[in-house]
Amino acid sequence: MIDLNLIRTNKELVKENIKKKFQDQKLPLVDKVLVLDEKYRQLKQEADNLRSTRNTKSSEIGALVRAQKTDEISKIKEEVNVINQKIEKLEVEENELSQKIKDIMMKIPNIMADTVPIGKDDSENVERQTFGEKTKYDFEVPYHIDILEKLDGIDLDSARRVSGSGFYYLIGDIARLHSAVLTYARDFMIDKGFTYVIPPYLIRGDVVEGVMSFEERDAMMYKIEGEDLYLIGTSEHSMIGKFKDNLIDVNELPIKMTSYSPCFRKEKGAHGIEERGIYRIHQFEKQEMIVVCHPKDSVEWYQKMWNYTVELFRTLDIPVRTLECCTGDLSDLKYESLDVEAWSPRQQKYFEIASCSNLTEAQSRRLGIRIKDGKEKYYAHTLNNTVIAPPRMLIAFIENNLNADGSINIPKVLRSYMGNIDKITIK
């Protein structure tokens, strides 16, 4: 959520930002919120004037009591009573207007970085860098489900009977590999100076409202029936929510945390052949990183965070690239966002395995996360990034560490987490 004062002082900048996101249907919201804001401020001023008059008249009552002027006291008390009724009515109107303004402000997108490429959708995202040589084989790479089934590592049929499509059983060495990469990612981030956290997996509606747009919530979140609770789609949700209504001393910044959680997503609109298997699923586990920092430091932290993910995947012998999200692919709360994509030898293309985002003060304004800096108070900046998200990353892992006989090589950094084996073989 942006600062309302920015709309008051530079509404054309806000409108231009909306146009860059190809959300012209939201342009009328800017003028509408200004009209409501003007009306709100007039009501507030009227109510403040009445409160001032009430205070003046109330102070007169004391003098009249001492002078024993009973008739005048009764008259002023009646006047104060009328004023109170007017104030009550104005306060109701103020609250209604305030909520309308908030509802509109929640729909107006965050101001994006000037460097974000202009584009309508993810097809116009821009490749920035590649890391590592693309893996090449002299044999055909099978579909990842076929690889995993030959290793007795997955059971989708049973999962469909138990839970429906979009779920899975991981088994044996593949299940162990899944846990190993998460544990390795945890230790990797701890070595980078991040504090390890296991957060709540259910969060309240006001936290959901604070961390994401309404469109994202409706497309992603599972709600618990009859309760004000949602299953998290990523631990970023509960991790940022941890700081709701906090006033953080500037000397405590930056706050760096890495969190583990299961994640639950509806994945509405995910279709196509590559969505089969374990690429898009309703339940998975993830290691996440979040940073809460001073506004002047968020761009620097953004660069550091996606670089950590690149470094991690390169230690697992997985070639990756960075893809900068264009304006039309950027969700409303984001200032800038960059995907890390892994090379798929089977598909001969890259696919997303991580996403890093700088949200500046968009989440902080919604959640009331502020910094205390001497006598000053201002909103913190928040950032998040995927460290690793199996089982999707397992696709990249098995394809880039595959042998012709169907076995999977285990990189050196993972062997201590896998009982010191160097290979997963077909039984």
Kindly report the CATH number assigned to the domain that includes residue 49: 1.10.287.40
Domain end marker among 105, 140, 171: 105
Query: 147 and 95, same structural domain?
Result: no
Query: 410 and 262, same structural domain?
Result: yes
Comparing 79 with 337, which gets the higher pLDDT?
337
For 277, the token pair is: 């298997």
pLDDT digits (tens, 9 = 90+) for 126-168: 999 999 999 999 999 999 999 999 999 999 999 999 998 889 9
CA angle 241, 247, 253 (to 5 degrees): 85
Whether residue 116 is contained in a domain is answered as no
In angstroms, the CA 101 to CA 41 distance is 12
In angstroms, the CA 406 to CA 419 distance is 20
Query: 272 and 218, same structural domain?
Result: yes
Query: 358 and 309, same structural domain?
Result: yes
Query: 131 and 208, same structural domain?
Result: yes
Query: 127 and 90, same structural domain?
Result: no
Whether residue 346 is contained in a domain is answered as yes
Query: 215 and 78, same structural domain?
Result: no
Q: Which residues have CB under 8 Å from 7's CB, separation 6+? A: 14, 30, 33, 34, 37, 108
Q: What is the arithmetic mean of pLDDT over 1-23?
A: 96
Range of the domain at 170: 122-424
Q: What is the arithmetic mean of pLDDT over 35-49?
A: 94
* Cα–Cα separations (whole angstroms), residue 114 to 16, 176, 327: 12, 44, 10
pLDDT at 212: 87
Confidence category of residue 215, pLDDT binned at 50, 70, 90 = confident
pLDDT at 274: 45
For residue 69, pLDDT over 70 is answered with no
Query: 351 and 259, same structural domain?
Result: yes
Domain end marker among 78, 105, 132: 105
**Which residue has tokens 């980078």?**
192
Average pLDDT for the chain: 93
For residue 4, pLDDT over 60 is answered with yes
Whether residue 386 is contained in a domain is answered as yes
Query: 22 and 164, same structural domain?
Result: no
Point out the least confidently predicted range of 45-49, 191-195, 303-307, 322-326.
Answer: 45-49
For 165, the token pair is: 């499509």
- CATH code for the domain in which residue 192 is found: 3.30.930.10
Query: 156 and 80, same structural domain?
Result: no
Comparing 137 with 272, which gets the higher pLDDT?
137
Query: 325 and 184, same structural domain?
Result: yes
For residue 309, pLDDT over 60 is answered with yes
Query: 37 and 180, same structural domain?
Result: no
